[in-house]
Structure 1
């Protein structure tokens, strides 16, 4: 635990703390969309999924 003493104050002041500590709504439609696009690579033990980003036009 000694090795993490310096990073704790940094994390508490950063956006990371908010992302990790606040409760977030998870929409069922988003979960379903994720699992429709997911691909699992057994050799690499990795999950791949496509994330769609909106452009400037919406």
Structure 2
């Protein structure tokens, strides 16, 4: 743990800490959709994917 001694306080104070420690709901459908449409750009060394939510339809009251 000694090599990480200086970075731990930084991480605790940053937004990264919340992302790393907070429990998030993971929906299986979102994970499947991510892996279905994922692509890796070798040149840019980036992963691209999209997960779309269903849009709520407007319902008119009669």
> Number of residue pairs matched?
46
> TM (normalized to structure 2)?
0.56
User: Is residue 5 of structure 1 aligned with residue 5 of structure 2?
Assistant: yes
The runs of at least 4 aligned residues of structure 1 exceeding 3 Å deviation read none
Structure of larger gyration radius: 2
SS, match of residue 24 in structure 2: coil
Equivalent residues in 2 for 1:1-58 (5 A)?
1-38=1-38, 49-51=48-50
RMSD across aligned C-alpha pairs, in angstroms?
Answer: 2.4
> TM (normalized to structure 1)?
0.59
Gaps of 5+ in 2: 41-46, 53-62
